[in-house]
Structure 1
């Protein structure tokens, strides 16, 4: 057995003694010295680990945990109070800023912007389909299509209607109408998506307007030189909520 193998065996199990180990120790004094050193080290380690446990150790641990929890309970409320105070200060500052700005003139809600974009995309996509249609739609037919939106006409529709149907409108449905304007065909959408204020828009060479109608929205899209605001006003004057 060479020296490396001898040391490996002694290190892995200092108490192990077989005939090979015993023969190697007898043949080589340094092997015996190595075994003695390892056994002495083992004894020191065992002595160092043999520490008496204080009788009140469990009580000390429990007491320490209790103090730690009480400390945390003090820190957390203080932190929360400071955070809330900071948030209140920020909110106050923002409130002052909001009060100084007329946001109605500079802010358009994402929902209203989406209504305008969806209407324009719809008009462009369906233009080849509706261009040559003339269904000569009556006011009775318009009222039937308006029922799902809980609205109705209280007078005859004042413009010639070429096309009328329901259609998908973004994530909702809409009444889709094409009627005669002053400068060409005009498209009207009545959708259950609500809007909060009037919005004029010009996109893709077309003019449009979004008008709130109760919990629904009326969107009108025409040629760029079409007076869509006047059209919307005349139509809104004859649209009334259905009786409950």
Structure 2
């Protein structure tokens, strides 16, 4: 066995028991020294790789995994909270927009929706619950005052007419209550001089800095109501 083949065989397996390799090593002192050094190196490598496993290694690994999972859950929670806050913020803006912006295209549309929303709350059987003094106290917020009665008043209260503070008056009508809305003028909602659906009809006029809307059932003479309002309400600028 030549020297090159001898070295290759030892590199491949320093502890080889091959007879031919043993004969080649015993025949030369330098080969014996080389084999000894290579065997010592192999033992050092094996010793370096032989690291004892700590008894609590499995517990430490489980703890590390649990902590990593906890950190990940916390990150997810923060993300979810941020998303929830964003949704709540957008929802708040949307609600605010819907509440204070026009939900209908015209005064007539909103007036009919308002009447249907309170349908059944008032009837012609209700007694007069509002004095002229109370009525004019509320009218003062709209720069107006009644100089005389135009009918039997059932209710007078502030309302949100498409997001705008307005005054809602309910009178006894010929067969069912008549609704009168005092609404400050503003842009964004089309003026409806006359409007109707299958049950109700309405009329609107401009008065002072407000729009006066009257809504009643099909049998009601709305022209007479508007005429009486014009005669018995004084507006100031």
Question: Which residue in 1 is equivalent to 2:173?
Answer: 181
Change (3 A) 1:196 1:120: closer
Instruction: List gaps (5 residues or longer) in structure 2.
Output: 1-101
Change (3 A) 1:111 1:150: farther
Shift of 1:204: 4.0
User: Superposed, which structure 2 residues align to 1:30-45 within 5 Å?
Assistant: none
Q: Distance in 2 between matches of 1:203 and 1:223?
A: 10
Is 1:238 the counterpart of 2:235? The answer is: no
Question: Which residue in 1 is equivalent to 2:221?
Answer: 227
Q: TM-score, normalising length from structure 2? A: 0.50
Instruction: List gaps (5 residues or longer) in structure 1.
Output: 1-109
Question: Which residue in 2 is equivalent to 1:142?
Answer: 135
Question: Which residue in 1 is equivalent to 2:111?
Answer: 119
Moved beyond 4 Å, runs of 4+:
110-113, 194-198
Q: CA RMSD in A?
A: 2.6
Q: How many residues align?
A: 133
Question: Which residue in 1 is equivalent to 2:197?
Answer: 203
User: Superposed, which structure 2 residues align to 1:43-122 within 5 Å?
Assistant: 114-122=106-114
Residue by residue over 1:142-180, the C-alpha shift from the partner in whole angstroms, topping out at 9 and shown as x without a partner, is: 1111111111112x2120011110000002111111101
Q: Distance in 1 between matches of 2:235 and 2:114?
A: 26
Using CA pairs under 8 Å that are at least 6 residues apart, name the structure with larger relative contact order, 1 or 2.
Answer: 2
Q: Distance in 1 between matches of 2:182 and 2:230?
A: 11
User: What SS does structure 2 have at the residue aligned with 1:127?
Assistant: coil
Is 1:170 the counterpart of 2:162? The answer is: yes
Shift of 1:129: 2.4
Q: Distance in 2 between matches of 1:113 and 1:129?
A: 26
Q: Distance in 2 between matches of 1:170 and 1:196?
A: 12
Change (3 A) 1:157 1:232: same
Q: Distance in 1 between matches of 2:162 and 2:190?
A: 18
User: Superposed, which structure 2 residues align to 1:10-21 within 5 Å?
Assistant: none
User: What SS does structure 2 have at the residue aligned with 1:176?
Assistant: strand
Q: Distance in 2 between matches of 1:233 and 1:113?
A: 26
Question: Which residue in 1 is equivalent to 2:206?
Answer: 212
